[in-house]
Structure 1
Amino acid sequence: MKRPNQKLKLLYLMKILMQETDEAHPLSLAQLVEKLEGYGVEAERKSLYDDMEVLRVFGIDIEKTGSRNCVYYVGSRTFEVAELKLLVDAVQASKFITRKKSSDLIKKMESLASVYEAGTLQRQVYVSNRVKTMNESIYYNVDKLHTAIYDDKKISFRYTDWAVDFTAGARVKRQVRKNGRRYAVSPWALTWNNENYYLVGFDAAAGRIKHYRVDKMESIHISEEKRSGEEYFKNFDMALYSSRFFGMYGGMEERVDLKVENRLAGVMIDRFGESLSLRQEGEEHFLASVTVAVSPQFFSWLFGLGEGVELLGPIEIRRQYRHYLERVLKKYQ
């Protein structure tokens, strides 16, 4: 008499081994037979030897321990538990992934471990000043942007900001920029900077590279028109681009000269990279010439370093910085 569900036996056996075994939780042949019966599959102990050999040939790392009373478990997997914990921590700490989507992703990652190991993945990562995004659509925006980049197509979208509606009891709401007019951009790259996801693309109308926060984009449409701006991205260095924009805040790029105390060399290298050119200036200082996007964010970064850094020039940028400091100081007079 033909046993039921025999064609499913190998699949259920693999599922049981992958989900319910690890080095600390092996299963005997008798236990495997019992668990298969729970799926409506009858199995003889002898046939499981052949089945597990087939799974080994397929690539499943099935280990056996013991001599007389042998037990079996899955040894190594695609991801080690330590690797999954790193991924979980990254998802938990990511500002641009909503709480709901974080929970969904972590549950999917748990399926890559045994049920016992999955319990260790329920971790709460606390990150200073982290606020999860409220825009659930970012997950799908990223996928759509990758598709446009891969297909070499332009995109259009509406760009939004958070605003407070005092007529509705100080309710936070989204409002579109440019009265709802759509932005047209050639997408070239995505980058993760300062806990936010950004699209870096070419604005043909402006004739230059621009970036946009992905969680502020909505109603993304992929055009049939081929991207433009390839010449701007042939030798594009994303790390260099990101280092010039403080908090990815826009501004005109300028070459500025800084006089820096020696103790802040690490701060400068962390910000601008190891290729930063430094020149000695006396015994306690060095000079650095760097390209930055001049913006209030840049001035705030400078101010945060206090007397350790002096902006030497250009004179016009130095004047702008002084006026920035004066305007802030007036608030406290």
Structure 2
Amino acid sequence: MAKRSGQKLKLLYLMKILLEQTDEDHGLTIAQLAQKLEEWGVSAERKSLYDDLETLQVYGLDVISPQGRGSYGVGSRLFEVAELKLLVDAVQSSRFITAKKSRELIGKVESLASVYQAQTLQRQVYVANRIKTMNESIYYNIDALHQAIAQGKQISFRYFQWAVGEAGEDTVARRFRREGERYQVSPWALTWDDENYYLVAYDTPEQKIKHFRVDKMEGIRLEQEKRDGAEQFQKFDMAVYSRQVFGMYGGEEAQVRLRFANHLAGVVVDRFGKDVPIRRDGEDHFTVWLSVAVSPQFFSWVLGFGEEAQILEPQWVLKRLKSHLEKTLALYE
């Protein structure tokens, strides 16, 4: 590299060295900085480096002396180490991110720290036996969906589910719904629930809001038609929708009154928020009206609390619960 060209890039190289190889506990001397610049083909005089460090500090880089007078490093950064650890943990524990993509993303997160800090990130929580998605195209799906939402366009795609293989096969295989016929919907929002990404969209023929697992969508294509469902989504609240739908399984929406033991108040608040109006029912219980999507998953949530939770009304929900229980019990008779 020519000296003149290298001198023009000297400040950038110096900042790169400081960001990558120093932090609040590790610094480099002027001699070490000059040596590392030489490795990039840039010569640097001692006095000019002092001026360069001052310029970087004026620019906004937090240049400090980690090991006392004579050493230089970067103190505060855009992300604190604790924040980077949270990001790494989120990537590692997320089911919808494949193992390969997890490694790539964590590598990029590590680049935001010094080489010493990156070592602490590599020792972060590992979720044992975490099942990762096998659909590498989920990232392209998310990009295509954001593009469609931004442009206000409808999309079409094929949708599959995992099913038992053909007769004689002890495997699971992908099976396309509607025999592979493409769905066409109006995308409005993306949400992350129960460790999976979902598209919330409006189905024009059925005139209803639906959701789809993003990692089970294939061949997403932007269509020319403009989105439908604007009127429905003007009054749509994603937070309320997520609370109502258990495990993102749909069902008939209903106002249901339940009775809980007092110590389960926190469970109700965690699920439905602290503004849910509750009413005392004796010394040890309370009742509450909740708006939910009635489904087997909702019943499982309630039954998981045993005798400490009870559905009180409406009657049609109680009848459906009893039918669900009878069918389940029949399996064990």
Bin of the TM-score, shorter chain as denominator length: over 0.9
* Pairwise CA RMSD: 1.9
Whole-Å separation in 2 of the counterparts to 1:249 and 1:2: 65
2:300 aligned counterpart, secondary structure: helix
Task: Return closer, same or farther for 1:129/1:262 CA change in 2, 3 Å cut-off.
Answer: farther
Q: Which residue of 1 aligns with 2:256?
A: 256
1:154 aligned counterpart, secondary structure: strand
Question: Is the Cα contact below 8 Å between 1:19 and 1:111 reproduced in 2?
Answer: yes
1:140 aligned counterpart, secondary structure: helix
Any stretches of 5+ residues in structure 2 without a counterpart? Answer: none
Task: Give the partner amino acid of 1:232.
Answer: Q
The alignment's TM-score, normalised by the length of structure 1, stands at 0.94
Q: Which residue of 2 aligns with 1:78?
A: 78
Tell me the CA shift for residue 129 of structure 1.
7.6
Task: Give the partner amino acid of 1:300.
Answer: S
Q: Which residue of 2 aligns with 1:323?
A: 323
Question: Is the Cα contact below 8 Å between 1:4 and 1:40 reproduced in 2?
Answer: no
Task: Give the partner amino acid of 1:226.
Answer: K
Q: Which residue of 1 aligns with 2:10?
A: 9
Aligned residue runs from structure 1 range 191-270, under 5 A: 191-270=191-270
Tell me the CA shift for residue 225 of structure 1.
2.1
Q: Which residue of 1 aligns with 2:52?
A: 51
Whole-Å separation in 2 of the counterparts to 1:126 and 1:12: 35
Task: Give the partner amino acid of 1:25.
Answer: H
1:275 aligned counterpart, secondary structure: coil
Q: Which residue of 1 aligns with 2:62?
A: 61
Whole-Å separation in 2 of the counterparts to 1:309 and 1:66: 60
Whole-Å separation in 2 of the counterparts to 1:33 and 1:128: 45
Question: Is the Cα contact below 8 Å between 1:256 and 1:312 reproduced in 2?
Answer: yes
Q: Which residue of 2 aligns with 1:275?
A: 275
Task: Return closer, same or farther for 1:66/1:297 CA change in 2, 3 Å cut-off.
Answer: closer
Tell me the CA shift for residue 8 of structure 1.
2.2
Any stretches of 5+ residues in structure 1 without a counterpart? Answer: none
Task: Return closer, same or farther for 1:57/1:324 CA change in 2, 3 Å cut-off.
Answer: same
Tell me the CA shift for residue 53 of structure 1.
2.4
Tell me the CA shift for residue 31 of structure 1.
0.3
Q: How many residues align?
A: 332
Question: Is the Cα contact below 8 Å between 1:3 and 1:42 reproduced in 2?
Answer: no
Q: Which residue of 2 aligns with 1:183?
A: 183
Task: Give the partner amino acid of 1:287.
Answer: T
Tell me the CA shift for residue 4 of structure 1.
6.0
The one-character-per-residue Cα deviations of 1:66-101 (angstroms, maximum 9, x if unpaired) are 78x511101111101110001100111111111111
The one-character-per-residue Cα deviations of 1:207-231 (angstroms, maximum 9, x if unpaired) are 1111111111111111232211111
Tell me the CA shift for residue 164 of structure 1.
2.6
Whole-Å separation in 1 of the counterparts to 2:216 and 2:262: 40
Task: Give the partner amino acid of 1:131.
Answer: I
Task: Give the partner amino acid of 1:330.
Answer: A
Q: Which residue of 2 aligns with 1:155?
A: 155
Q: Which residue of 2 aligns with 1:108?
A: 108
1:109 aligned counterpart, secondary structure: helix
Question: Is the Cα contact below 8 Å between 1:157 and 1:219 reproduced in 2?
Answer: yes
Question: Is the Cα contact below 8 Å between 1:189 and 1:199 reproduced in 2?
Answer: yes
Task: Give the partner amino acid of 2:143.
Answer: D
The one-character-per-residue Cα deviations of 1:103-161 (angstroms, maximum 9, x if unpaired) are 10000011100011111111353448842111111122112211211222211111110
Whole-Å separation in 2 of the counterparts to 1:252 and 1:236: 16
